[in-house]
Amino acid sequence: GLEVLKSYPKSFTQTAGFTSAWNVLPWFRPAVSYTASTIENNILSLSTFVVGGSTTVFDIGDIKTVNRNGAGNISLSLSAAEIFSKTKLFRSFSLTNGYQTQDGDSWNNVERGLDTKTALWLRTPLRPTSRFAQRVNLTLRDTASSSQRWSPLEAYDLKGRKEAFKSLSLSNNYVKSVQRSETTGTPSKTISTTLPDLIASIGSLEKLVHADRWAKSMQLNLKVREQTTENVAATFQTDDSFGTDLRAIIRQRFDTSVSFNLRTTSTEDLRINQVTQTTDHKDAVVQTTFDIHKFRFTPKVDYQNDVTTLGTGQRSQDTTVITPSLLVRADLALPKGLRVPFRKQLLTFTNRIIWTTTMSLAMRQSPITINDNSKLLNLNTSADYEIAKNLRMTLNGAASRLWHKYLKEEDFISYQFGTVLTFQF
């Protein structure tokens, strides 16, 4: 046979970028960065295309796939204290702004002669000459963001019970993202907006509510968030949430926390201008932690409710789960020494046991779904026993018991037990 020598590229990878920052003014220091990467892989086999009855064959290495990714960022942080040095109210106010681009595209059947080394800006499409070249997908994402931080009374000289207001802090985020996509020629556009995304926090609350005789380190957090997502000409979704949590140490002993959250999600079909589904979520948790001798106890009650309503007004889900639980943890150290014959030194046993046990009872009920009416008891326990520095044994066990309210065939009992002995030398 005739031996044919061929030369062709196999692959190409490139990453290029830059970062720049300008000190225009002491308080005005914008920064810019951009990075682009390109990956090419040549097709190392004969490729045949048939269009309109005519056949075109590409030799080994004559066509290639091209994948590009690009990310750009402009950021600017502003501090009120640097701009207005004499201000008190806005001394702690800071603003962080940013604009980011995240782009990516992929191409098939691009001719080997197309030079992509300088094609760093993805918003300028490639210009292949091959009529078989195809852009498989394209994603262009623009994101504008702004974060604000402010402790309005931090710089004021407040005394007594009013001093708690100095710890008041506010933070908020604004994010707007526009994503344009194209998959095999089909375009789509998604607009996502988050505002507000607010967290308000205040500490030393026991001073304001005159509870400092029996409570300390009392802190309250409030969270409010709204996000909208629009798939242009298709759907519009609104997601609203509110949450609060309170934590304090009661009577110098009980580390207690209470939290409550609400979330509502609504989905609208823009093609028929009608809400198709609404979901409501509620949850609350109450727990405390205290020590008795070398044992730490954490009793907790968890409440959760989920309701889904269709556009017709019919409820497809209404489930409530209440779960009381108790966690017990102990860290016991009982070191011992054993005298070994013909040795002066004692053989030391660390005898440290870390024992953790959790027991919970999940009470589930639903007027809609029959299967969501049950009680599930869970017990998990594990003990890590360090006999000596190089000898450790782990014991673990679990048991479960389910009682179903209507489907007695669903009732079950399960249990397991395991142990691991580890010797290091």
Q: Phi and psi (nearest 5°) for 371?
A: -65, -20
* 351: its two tokens: 């005898």
How do residues 41-89 score in pLDDT, each as one tens digit?
Answer: 999 999 998 887 789 999 999 999 999 999 999 999 999 999 998 889 9
Which range is least confidently modeled, 73-77, 131-135, 308-312, 390-394?
390-394
Q: Which of 71-75, 153-157, 260-264, 399-403 has the lowest mean pLDDT?
A: 153-157
Radius of gyration of the chain (CA): 32
pLDDT in tens, 179-213: 999 998 899 999 999 999 999 999 999 999 999 99
Half-sphere exposure of 166 (CA within 13 A, CB side): 12
Question: Which pLDDT tens digit goes with each residue over 361-372?
Answer: 999 999 999 999
Q: How far is CA 116 from CA 111, 206, 241, in A?
A: 11, 65, 46
Q: Please state, for a pLDDT cut of 90, what percent of the chain lies above it.
A: 83
Where residue 318 falls (left for φ over 0; alpha for ψ -120 to 50; beta otherwise) is: beta
Nearest to 226 by CA among 199, 193, 201: 193
The answer to whether residues 158 and 152 touch, using CB atoms and an 8 Å cutoff, is no
65: Cα separation from own chain's centroid: 34
Residues 256/287, Cβ–Cβ less than 8 Å: yes
What are the structure tokens assigned to 334, written together? 């009982």
Two structure tokens written together for 147: 């974060």
Quote the tokens at residue 55. Answer: 């056949």
Which is higher by pLDDT, 40 or 1? 40
- In angstroms, the CA 372 to CA 370 distance is 5
Label each residue of the chain as H, E or C.
Answer: CCCCCCCCCCEEEEEEEEEEECCCECCECCEEEEEEEEEEEECCCCEEEEECCEEEEECCCCEEEEEEEEEEEEEEEEEHHHHCCCCCCCCCCEEEEEEEEEEEEEEEEEECCCCCCCCCCCCCCCCCCCCCCEEEEEEEEEEEEEEEEECCCCCCCCCHHHHHHHHCEEEEEEEEEEEEEEECCEEEEEEEEEEEEEEEEECCHHHHCCCCCCEEEEEEEEEEEEEEEEECCCEEEEEEEEEEEEEEEECCCEEEEEEEEEEEEEEEECCCCEEEEEEEEEEEEEEEEEEECCEEEEEEEEEEEEEEEECCCCEEEEEEEEEEEEEEEEEEECCEEEECCCCCCEEEECCEEEEEEEEEEEEEECCCCCCCCEEEEEEEEEEEEEEECCEEEEEEEEEEEEEECCCHHHCEEEEEEEEEEEECC
Cβ pair 321, 364 in contact under 8 A: yes
- pTM of this prediction? 0.83
What pLDDT, on a 0 to 100 scale, did the predictor assign at position 338? 46
